[in-house]
Amino acid sequence: MDKVIGKIKNYVFHNEENSYSIARLITLDDQLVTIVGYFPKISEDVIYEFMGTWVKHQTYGEQLKVESFKKTEKQSANGLISYLSSSFFTGIGPKTAEKMVETFGLDVIQKVQDNPAILKEIGLKKIRIVKFHQQLIENQTNEHILVRLYSYNLSGRLAMKLLNKYQSLTIDKLEENPYRLIDDIDGIGFIKADEIAHKLGIEAHDIRRIKAAILYALEHIAYQNGDLYLTLEQLTKETIGVLQTDIDLDEGIKTLLEENRIIIEENRYYLTMSYFTETKLAEKITKLNDKSEFNVDLNYVKTLIDRIEMTKDIDYTDIQKEAISTALTHKLSIITGGPGTGKTTIIDGLLEVYKIYNKLNFDHPDIYEKIACLAPTGRAAKRMSELLHVKTSTIHRHLGYNYDGMFSYDESHLLPQDLIIVDESSMIDIFLASRLFEAIKDQAQIIIVGDVDQLPSVGPGQVLSDLIESNQIKVVKLDQIHRQAKDSHIISLASSVNHQNLSYDDLQSGNDVYLYHADQQKIQNTIINQVQGALDKGYSMIDDIQILVPMYKGELGIDRFNQILQDKFNVHKTKSITFKDKTYYEGDKVIQLVNDPKRFIMNGDIGIIKSIEVNSDNEKFLVVTFDDNEVLYERADLDELNLAYAISIHKSQGSEYKIVMIPMVRNYIHMLKKELIYTAITRAKQYLILLGDMKLLIYAANHLSNKRQTTLALRLNSDTQVEEIDKDNISPYDFM
């Protein structure tokens, strides 16, 4: 590891929230060097030793990427005087600081720490002595804590996260149970926590280690697969895999049960949160589905459907009429079907019938106190609004999701709406579904719309599938493709994939589908040529064209495609900002990776970098436009962004694009499943371009994703009652 010793000359940049810093350092031999990394603002008059790695920045030249630092013993009298009279200490001026050093010597700091009363010798009043001693301890404590954290091989960034989280208790918390970091600190998993634990002397058979591994398997490994529980055999296998040694888990499981952190039901092992979320959701759905006090005049509904056909000059099919009447005559219903089956037409029709039946005025400003049209993502909600010409919202926003992760609407503060329509419901995981349903009043009517054959949610659960499978909720399945969609080769190809009857005869270009057979080595150039061709015809790289890729890493992964497409098609390269291994330019297409309700942006929102600016402190920041929302990103926020010329198929759910391009290569073979490819194909609105080995399309169509391990359908068929649990505050590691 490289090392430089010297004093901070000035800070070029410092982020107060995460302490990412860029500073200029004067070395002991009067050289000026740049250091970058995660470290707090430290005195500019004290000599420090910085350890790290020299890196070459394309704009700013050589820099030391700091991994750790410590104060050296090589302090001068002048340096000490400057430090003691700096902004770190209030009420101590240069003359007082000079008097301290003259009276007590170069080890004045240690002497004052040991006995602050000695400062009376130089005339300091008690109140100033107490304040100075307190600030001295705080500054010294933080530096000692960071040095200790660096000894556990934590990066500067993670070390600052721990310090900001636990402050003066950091080392105590760490030594008490390093496995707590798995839950408390983003970026720390079991391996890193286990490494720290080993350095602290925690043995392989320590009960804290075993419990942490069990919880890690149940949360991270199970959730990664979308499962809510593991069997004992699965839990044992996964936990032993985490521990990397064959250890008896009985004591760990028994302790976790006693602490109410896991629940066992038959041979199903759940995290407590997962169990109660699912059981409470089942209970609420059963209550909402109660038909005893719900009476709607079916004949009048049918009359209104006929009237709307005449006024709108539309001919509903029998199944569409059934869907509208079923939805309006049941407390809770589901409408499911693929592209071209008329889901949007049905929603539009049932809204019209509901309006007339209930004598509502859709132009009245209070109408949305009666009706809510919701979708899981911003893009899905926007698309719903464009198609139906009504006000829509994301589920998070409608529930009042705020910056601290809480919801304004819950079981104690119910939503006012009488009718709630939820579109793209296949994307909703068990936790969001629970949040939504618990906030719906018992008298409300709920219509769930979605394509059950698409990918299930990114998060755990398969809510739409389970609701249908339970046979407790009225379901209308749309399987008839309508006239205007029958000529679409996109829809027929999607249908063939979905029904697993894709043949080599289907692998031909059609009126809106283009298949390009290309070697794996030529895929990148083929995609570039196709994008260029679309741009030449007037299509927009930002608004119209989307490349969908199953995986992130590798030469044919999302990250690499984004680099290539950015380099080729973004001509605005005069202003840039680099963060980690990515460089962003004005005009780049970007995607938000996490929910940020404080700034009204959600995971999956796609925008464009409008400008790259420099503030008064000479710090660069981005301005990104998301539809009609402009959001400022400082350097510390760039973890939340990624380039979006190519995105994952999961991230594309709920969206449509005029042109969709999908590379098909053997690198992806372990990802190629029917649900994934079906979802990707159905994102295309005008043209679908498939490139690569077309035989992989048939392979994907014939390989199903593993069924997720959930019990929502089972619970909807039982009378299980559950006790209350504080879902806002419970965490699997709260008891550690």
Binding residues for ATP: 340-344
Residue closest to 343 by CA, chosen among 488, 681, 351: 351
pLDDT tier at 610, thresholds 50, 70, 90 = very high
Do 83 and 56 lie in a common domain?
no
3-state class (DSSP) for residue 609: strand
In a domain, 671, yes or no: yes
Q: Is the model's pLDDT at 76 over the cut of 70?
A: no
What is d(CA 519, CA 665) in angstroms, rounded to the nearest whole number? 8
Do 228 and 160 lie in a common domain?
no
Do 461 and 397 lie in a common domain?
yes
Q: Is the model's pLDDT at 158 over the cut of 60?
A: yes
Antiparallel, parallel or unpaired: β 474-478 and 332-337: parallel
* Number of C-beta neighbours around residue 294 at 10 A: 13
In a domain, 561, yes or no: yes
Percent of the chain with pLDDT over 70: 93
State the pLDDT at residue 722. 46
Q: Which of 176, 197, 230 is the last residue of a domain?
A: 176
In a domain, 103, yes or no: yes
Do 566 and 683 lie in a common domain?
yes
Task: Give the residues across from 69 on adjacent strands.
Answer: 50
Do 87 and 8 lie in a common domain?
no
Residue 238 in tokens? 């996964």
Q: Which of 242, 266, 290 is the last residue of a domain?
A: 266
Task: Give the residues across from 449 on adjacent strands.
Answer: 335
Q: Which of 447, 478, 509 is the last residue of a domain?
A: 478
Question: What is the chain's mean pLDDT, rounded?
Answer: 89
Summarised one tens digit per residue, pLDDT across range 672-727 is: 999 999 999 999 999 999 999 999 999 999 999 999 999 999 999 876 544 444 44
In a domain, 692, yes or no: yes
Question: Residue by residue, what is the 3-state secondary structure of 504-560?
Answer: HHHCCCCCCEEEEECCHHHHHHHHHHHHHHHHHCCCCCCCCEEEEECCCCCCCCHHH
State the pLDDT at residue 122. 92
Q: Is the model's pLDDT at 532 over the cut of 70?
A: yes
- What lies within 8 Å, CB to CB, of 640 at 6+ separation is 592, 593, 594, 596, 633
Do 386 and 533 lie in a common domain?
no
In a domain, 213, yes or no: yes
- How far apart are the two ends of the chain, measured CA to CA in Å? 35
18-22, 179-183, 407-411, 674-678: the lowest-pLDDT one: 18-22
pLDDT tier at 728, thresholds 50, 70, 90 = very low
Residue 25 burial class via C-beta count within 10 angstroms: exposed 0-12, middle 13-18, buried 19 and up: buried
Do 38 and 148 lie in a common domain?
no
Strand ordering across the sheet containing 474-478: 393-394, 371-375, 419-422, 445-450, 332-337, 474-478
Do 592 and 686 lie in a common domain?
yes
357 against 594, higher pLDDT: 357
Do 577 and 698 lie in a common domain?
yes
In a domain, 156, yes or no: yes
In a domain, 691, yes or no: yes
pLDDT tier at 666, thresholds 50, 70, 90 = very high
Distances (CA, A) of 106 to 27, 79, 92, 553, 728: 21, 10, 17, 54, 52
Mean pLDDT of 355-384: 90
Domain holding 206: CATH number? 1.10.10
In a domain, 242, yes or no: yes
Summarised one tens digit per residue, pLDDT across range 33-55 is: 999 988 888 777 778 889 888 98
516, HSE (Cβ side, Cα atoms, 13 Å): 19
Domain total of the chain = 5
Structural domain that includes position 385: 281-478
Mean pLDDT of 383-394: 92
Do 21 and 59 lie in a common domain?
yes
CA angle 636, 642, 645 (to 5 degrees): 155
Do 102 and 60 lie in a common domain?
no
State the pLDDT at residue 733. 36
- What lies within 8 Å, CB to CB, of 13 at 6+ separation is 20, 21, 22, 617, 618, 619, 635
What is d(CA 149, CA 70) in angstroms, rounded to the nearest whole number? 12
State the pLDDT at residue 74. 53
CA of residue 150 relative to chain centroid, distance = 28
Number of H-type helices and E-type strands within the chain? 28, 26
Summarised one tens digit per residue, pLDDT across range 564-580 is: 999 999 988 888 998 88
Do 47 and 100 lie in a common domain?
no
Domain holding 669: CATH number? 3.40.50.300
